[in-house]
């Protein structure tokens, strides 16, 4: 049975001329799927792979998936770190992300991961996708997505963030950098994003007027491969968008593009940003950066609108960042969109 098959309920009310069609995952499914409406993304499948303990990717990625599905037509599947006993979304469960087989039909993988130690049978789907030549996007802690501490004999242990032979693991080799440090003071200095010199005509920055977020700027050594800085992070002295830049800290890249040639010799487009605090997504400019980057990753840059629609689908009320501060008791089905009503 296809694990992503969903029940569709169609109810026709002749008197009112209304059609109610709801497509939602079965209650037991530990993932959520948003079927795309009409738009440039129709026929394309984006799979979000989430699991970070701190920055509330379990809140922000379903929100971005809704925007890409409803506003742009992409089919979006969101996978979560799931508590094996309760079936609840639990980013502190580092060894379980059910549904990764969805990557077999993905056109784009978007990662928001931190220090995962997945079993080999799950990790295989991620690495097979990574070597497929299909595009990859990584957000915030995805520069350090894996940390094999208990199972150092795993064939996937080399992807750990601090691996020396496969220098810097998945983050540095695939995305461009691994975890270094907090360059901006964590929770005391925020980030103003500015377009890097010479990149103002890049399709990903199209229609972006302003980027600001509560993220602190991550430190980097030197971006690997053919990485090209796209957005520079200016460290602000406080947690307000009106705060002054810290004159003692030079801007460093917080978003860049690159390519990655996997073990099969196939080259993938890659976009990485080290921003991604739950409240960063309140910035229209930052949401537009992610949407435009999805188009670019998929080779659809010619279809990026002058100003991509990044209006929220429903409300976005993310939880605050911090370990153990995720909302308890939620299951993936709680992120499902309500039934849609429309006239014949």
**Closest by Cα among 230, 194, 231 to 210:** 194
pLDDT of residue 340: 63
pLDDT of residue 7: 40
Assign 339 a pLDDT band (cuts: 50, 70, 90). Answer: low
Q: Is 342 a residue whose pLDDT tops 60?
A: no
| Mean pLDDT calculated for residue range 225-230 | 98
| Mean pLDDT calculated for residue range 251-263 | 97
CB environment 67-104: b (16+ within 10 A), e (fewer): bbbbbbbbbbbbbbbbbeeebbbbbebbebbbbbbbbe
Annotated domain spans of the chain: 28-181+256-321
Q: Token match 């169609």: residue?
A: 10
pLDDT of residue 27: 55
pLDDT digits (tens, 9 = 90+) for 1-53: 344 444 443 333 333 333 333 344 445 799 999 999 899 999 999 999 999 99
Q: Is 143 a residue whose pLDDT tops 80?
A: yes
pLDDT of residue 186: 95
How would CATH label the architecture of 28-181+256-321? 3-Layer(aba) Sandwich (3.40)
Please name the residues in contact with 325: beta carbons below 8 A apart, sequence gap of 6 or more. Answer: 56, 319
- How many whole angstroms from its chain centre is CA 201? 24
pLDDT of residue 13: 37
pLDDT of residue 338: 80
């Amino acid at each position: 049975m296809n694990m992503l098959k969903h029940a569709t309920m169609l109810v026709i009310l002749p008197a009112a001329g209304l059609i109610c069609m709801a497509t939602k995952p079965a209650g037991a499914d530990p993932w959520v799927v948003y079927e795309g409406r009409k738009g440039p993304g129709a026929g394309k499948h984006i799979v979000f792979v989430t699991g970070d303990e701190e920055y509330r990717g379990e809140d922000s990625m379903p929100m971005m998936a809704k925007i890409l599905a409803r506003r742009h037509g992409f089919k979006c599947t969101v996978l979560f770190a799931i508590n094996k006993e309760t079936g609840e979304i639990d980013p502190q469960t580092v060894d379980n992300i059910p549904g990764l087989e969805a990557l077999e039909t993905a056109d784009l993988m978007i990662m928001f991961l931190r220090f995962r130690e997945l079993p080999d049978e799950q990790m295989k789907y991620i690495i097979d996708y990574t070597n497929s030549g299909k595009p990859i996007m990584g957000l915030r802690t995805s520069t350090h997505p894996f940390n094999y501490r208990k199972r150092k004999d795993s064939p996937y242990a080399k992807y750990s963030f601090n691996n020396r032979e496969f220098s810097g693991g998945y983050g540095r080799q695939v995305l461009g950098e691994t975890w270094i440090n907090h360059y901006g003071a964590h929770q005391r200095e925020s980030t103003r994003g500015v377009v890097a010199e010479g990149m103002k005509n890049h399709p990903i920055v199209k229609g972006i007027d302003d980027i600001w977020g509560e993220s602190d700027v991550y430190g980097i050594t030197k971006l690997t491969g053919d990485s090209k800085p796209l957005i520079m992070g200016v460290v602000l002295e406080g947690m307000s968008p009106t705060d002054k830049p810290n004159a003692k800290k030079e801007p460093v890249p917080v978003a860049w593009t690159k390519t990655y040639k996997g073990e099969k010799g196939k080259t993938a487009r890659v976009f990485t940003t080290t921003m991604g605090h739950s409240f960063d997504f309140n910035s229209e400019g930052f949401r537009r950066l992610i949407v435009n980057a999805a188009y670019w990753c998929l080779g659809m840059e010619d279809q990026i609108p002058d100003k991509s629609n990044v209006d929220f689908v429903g409300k976005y009320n993310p939880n605050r960042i911090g370990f153990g501060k995720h909302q308890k008791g939620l299951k993936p089905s709680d992120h499902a969109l309500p039934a849609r009503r429309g006239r014949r």
